[in-house]
Structures are given as C-alpha cells and as structure tokens.
Amino acid sequence: MSARLIDSLATTPALADVFSDDAVLRAMLEFESKLALAQARLKIIPRTAARTIAACAMPSKFDIPALAAATFRAGTPAIPLVKALTSLVRKADAEAARFVHWGATSQDVADTAMSLLLKNAEPILVADLVRLEKALVSLSNRHKDTVMLGRTLLQAAPPITFGLKAAGWLVPIHHGKHRLESAFRDAVVLQFGGASGTLASLGKAGAAVAKELGREFGLKTSAAWHTRRDNLATLICACGVLTASLGKMARDISLLMQNEVGEAAEPGNDGRGGSSTMPNKRNPTACALTLAAAHRLPGLVASFLSAMVQEHERGVGGWHAEWPIITSVVQSTGVAIASMAEVAEGLSVDTKKIRANIKSTNGLIFAERATMMLGAKLGRDVAYEILEAAARESVSSGKNLATVLSGIPEVTAHLSRAELKQLEIPNQYLGSAEAFRKVLLAESATKN
C-alpha cells in the first residue's frame, strides 16, 4: 500500500496504488508518448521523433520529488514534466526534442491523466459494490422472518424485520452504483484542446489528432472541456450521495452494536475492532471508516462545485484545485464501499438479544395496534387518550401494556381477553413488511 500514514484511514490499498505518485507520473507520460505516436501516424511529426519520445517517456527516468518541487513553482505538474521529458529526448535526439508536447497545453496533460486514473479506479469501486449488493441480498433473505424493534427518533417503535432493514440499506446503494457508473462514463474523457481549446497550432489536423489520440487511449473524445467541469462535478456528486447512503447503513449498524442494544456486530478479525487499552472491546471500526468518509465528502463536494466557476476558456485556480479534491473523494468513496462490503459479508445478528429487546418494552411498542383495535369501536381520539394513560401506567408500574389494558373497563367492554392476549405477539403486527421487502429486492435487481 503506497498511502501515507496520514491517508491510511481514507483509502484502500488498491486505490492508493491507483492514485500513487508513480501512477500519476505514468499517466502523464503516457499522454505525451501516445500524443507523439498518434501525430506520427497522421504524419504530423516524424516517426523517428515519436519513437524517441515514447522511449524516453519511462517513469524510471524521472525524479518524482524534483518534479513535485518544481510543480509548486510552476502551478501545474505538466510544465516541469514536459521540461524534463524534452531534456531527456534532446540527449537522445536533438531533432526529436522539437516535437515533445506538440500542440498540447498543460491542462490537456493533467485532465487526461486524471481521466486515466479514474478509468483505473472505477472497476475497483464497482467490484466492491457488487460484493456489497450480493451480501445485502443474502442478509435480507436470511433474516426475512427475524422480527426486531423498529426505531423512530431513536426510540422503540412497532416491529419490523431485519430483512426489511437490510433491503432498505440495499436500494439506495444499488441506485448509487448505477449513478456512479453513468457518471464515470461521462467523466472519463480525453482532454485535448491546446492553448485556447481550438488546437489552432495543429491547423486543420487538430480534430483528427484528438480522434486518433482518443482511440489510442480508449477514451471518449469531445471538444475541449477546459472550463466545462459539469461531468466531473456529476461524478463527484454521485460519490457524495453514494457515500452518504453507505454512511446511513454504517450509522444503523454502529448503533445496533452498542452494548445496551447488542443486536448486530461487525466481523472482528485480523486486528479489526480492537482497543488499545480495553481488550474486551469490539468496536465498529469499518462503520467508523465509512462514517468518517461520509463526514469528509460534503465539504469536498462543495469545494469542487465552487471550483466550477472558471473564467473564459482557461481558468485560474479552479482546475488547479481539483486534483486533491477528486482523489480524496474517489478514495473516500472506495474505502466506504469496501468497509461496508466487509461488514455485510460478515455481519452477525443476535436473534436472542433482538427478542429480549422487544420483550423489554413491556408491550408498549404495540400501543398503536391497541389504539387501532379500540379506535374501531370508540373512535381514534378516545382510544388514543385511553392508550396514552395506559402507557404511562405501564411505565410507572412495570406491568405489560396488555395487563394494564385488561384492568380498564372501557377496554374490556370492547376487546376480549383473547384479543388482549394476542396484542403483544410481534410477528402479528408486521403489516406489509415482507411485501415491501420483496419490492425493495426487486427494485435492487433492476438495471437503471
């Protein structure tokens, strides 16, 4: 893993490699090499010059720390890169050095390099999303009959099933996957426009060179998009929405892992979930990484959107701000996806604790059910007042709600002993939980 310690909680080993210094350098040099080869095929520059440029555009020939230091002075990594490449080519063939970076501008190098990095990042994200979706479908099916407390405003509410809860996590993640794939398709585009986006330095051959270069890279081509950043912005926003959806799942699971709740737990192995001081602890580590990513992304998304307001044909400061934002957003999204895939694949569900938590409410979660049953006889408003008083008595006395209700004449006049006995059976008050779970699973199986 090539991530620095300071970045180690904000990326995965695979994504750290995608956005490593070596990978960035390789992508920029690939632009220069393939530009020369494409122009040679179109007889714009000599073939011998193109071969020499390609031979010199090897990452091992470049000093990354020196390039980074020079970038700080130049304002873009392309300027010192092209200067260093030209020097290498000149040593090999002075005539070939004339054709390095022929007709391109520094932003062409930077934007195309980023497109190549994003192209490499996409399959990593998608593979983990496929894992996550598959695991959530399995989790939902396994627990379709596991009745648990519903929770509203962090308080106990009428029961749901764990299967419905898992399906509820699944659908926004499924939607997010398709938004992400669509956004990648639109954002991963060749940038080649020259100084003002017209490729005027190449005369009438500019469009042909762009087409040939796009073919060489396997990238879509368009007119220069130096200050049109909407496609990249859509990708950044798609990452933000997806990571927030993952954060919702992580928040739920971390709350279910609290000792006082204890209904679910992340897999704990290979150093996951431990404490530096308390050996008894099983912390929600993967959820914490996901929530950290979800906290980071809104600010990064906002920063990218603010950087879209760029001047005329080439902006000052806007596109210069993007590289750190894009790399952080994509890696944060990736670490959230990978973390929740690991959680979903190994999540343990404690059905005994789930039943105990339902029982601990003394039937108060069925007050709505009793209100509807009694309301059919007395009207909802009257029934609500009776149940409100009964709930207070249940809390103060510690008696089950059904027991309290059995001592209220207005209730027993309309509800039989058998009806009151059935009141607190959890799986008899699930409504359309299973039907809705199936709706969500069907929705997650469709392709947008």
Q: Parallel, antiparallel, or unpaired: how do β-strands 147-152 and 155-161 relate? A: antiparallel
H or E segment to which residue 265 belongs = strand 264-265
- The two structure tokens encoding residue 225: 């998009």
Cα–Cα distance for residue pair 273/283, rounded to 1 Å? 4
Q: Greatest CA span in the chain, whole angstroms? A: 104
Cα–Cα distance for residue pair 192/161, rounded to 1 Å? 54
Phi, psi of 367 (to 5 degrees): -60, -35
Question: Is 275 assigned a catalytic role?
Answer: yes
Question: With DSSP H G I counted as helix, E B as strand and the rest as coil, what are the percentages for the chain, rounded to 5?
Answer: 70, 5, 30
In this structure, are residues 170 and 444 in contact, taking their beta carbons and an 8 Å threshold?
A: yes
In this structure, are residues 82 and 101 in contact, taking their beta carbons and an 8 Å threshold?
A: yes
Cα–Cα distance for residue pair 289/268, rounded to 1 Å? 15
In this structure, are residues 220 and 190 in contact, taking their beta carbons and an 8 Å threshold?
A: yes
Q: What angle do CA 167, 150, 130 make, to 5 degrees?
A: 15
Catalytic residue among 179, 296, 314, 369: 314
Rg (CA), the chain: 30
Catalytic residue among 8, 138, 275, 306: 275
- The two structure tokens encoding residue 106: 């520094």
155, β-bridge pairs:
152
Cα–Cα distance for residue pair 373/387, rounded to 1 Å? 11
Cα–Cα distance for residue pair 17/299, rounded to 1 Å? 24
Question: Is 314 assigned a catalytic role?
Answer: yes
The total of other beta-carbon atoms located within 10 Å of residue 381's CB is 9
DSSP 377-422: HH-HHHHHHHHHHHHHHHHHH---HHHHHTT-HHHHTTS-HHHHHH
In this structure, are residues 408 and 387 in contact, taking their beta carbons and an 8 Å threshold?
A: no
> Alpha helices of 308-366 — where are they, by DSSP H?
322-346, 351-359
User: Which residue type sits at 287?
Assistant: C
3-state SS class at 163:
helix
H or E segment to which residue 438 belongs = helix 433-444
Catalytic residue numbers? 275, 314
